[in-house]
């Protein structure tokens, strides 16, 4: 199954010139959705992953079923102000200005094997902030995994842990 066939290209969203990769058409197809998760499961099933970290909000869609299958705990990273308890933050760059991501301070124990999972790697701003959060909690970050990677945006550059992606766009 070529999973790329299930992704809808939406021109000029969210603004002129952007070719938006709409993954909802993959997720609504039960076979494509299942295959995308199974590929990740096969890759990590023997890695003894204790915690899967997913980012608000599309990242949850990929990270949560993988956590279930791997028998790992699931940990959400959220935008500033959304989590209710003691947390640590990491700042990341937006096109104009900055924003912050948060994780609960007790979400990962020191030395636990952690996998970061997100739907799409673009410029990498979000995932770099997530990596910083895992490091602040002293987790052992095994890899970062994506359903889709926009290789032409060179988001891997500057990520100092292994990166895996299922579907790649070169342009």
Classify the phi-psi angles of 126: left when phi > 0, otherwise alpha if psi is within -120 to 50, otherwise beta: alpha
**Number of separate helices (H) and strands (E) present in the chain:** 4, 9
Task: Tell me if 33 contacts a second copy by CB under 8 A.
Answer: yes
Q: How far is the CB of 76 from a second copy (least distance, A)?
A: 6
Task: Tell me if 113 contacts a second copy by CB under 8 A.
Answer: no
Segment contacting a second copy by CB under 8 A, of 68-76, 94-102, 140-148, 150-158: 68-76
Task: Tell me if 77 contacts a second copy by CB under 8 A.
Answer: no
Task: Tell me if 144 contacts a second copy by CB under 8 A.
Answer: no
Which runs of consecutive H residues, i.e. helices, occur in 13-155? 24-27, 30-44, 58-70, 125-136
Task: Identify the bridge partners of residue 77 per DSSP, sorted by sequence position.
Answer: 55
The catalytic position among 58, 89, 143, 156 is 58
Task: Tell me if 75 contacts a second copy by CB under 8 A.
Answer: yes
Q: Are 118 and 63 in contact (CB under 8 A)?
A: yes
Q: Are 151 and 124 in contact (CB under 8 A)?
A: no
Active site residue 35: no
Active site residue 43: no
The residues that are catalytic are 58, 95
Q: Which residues bind a second copy (CB under 8 A)?
A: 8, 10, 13-14, 20, 22, 24, 27-30, 33-34, 37, 50-51, 54, 56-58, 60-62, 64-65, 67-69, 71-76, 78, 83-85, 104, 107
């Amino acid at each position: 199954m070529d999973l790329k066939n299930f992704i809808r290209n939406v021109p000029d969203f969210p603004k002129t010139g952007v070719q938006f990769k709409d993954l909802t058409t993959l997720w609504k197809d039960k076979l494509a959705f299942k295959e995308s998760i199974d590929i990740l499961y096969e890759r990590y099933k023997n890695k003894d992953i204790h915690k899967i970290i997913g980012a608000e909000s599309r990242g949850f869609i990929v990270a949560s079923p993988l956590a279930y299958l791997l028998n790992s705990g699931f940990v959400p990273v959220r935008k500033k102000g959304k989590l209710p308890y003691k947390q640590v933050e990491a700042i990341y760059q937006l096109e104009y200005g900055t924003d912050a991501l948060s994780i609960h301070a007790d979400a990962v124990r020191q030395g636990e094997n952690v996998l970061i999972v997100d739907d799409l790697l673009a410029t990498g701003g979000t995932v770099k902030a997530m990596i910083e959060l895992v490091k602040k909690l002293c987790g052992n970050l095994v890899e970062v995994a994506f359903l889709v990677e926009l290789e032409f945006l060179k988001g891997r550059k500057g990520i100092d842990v292994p990166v895996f992606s299922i579907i790649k766009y070169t342009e």
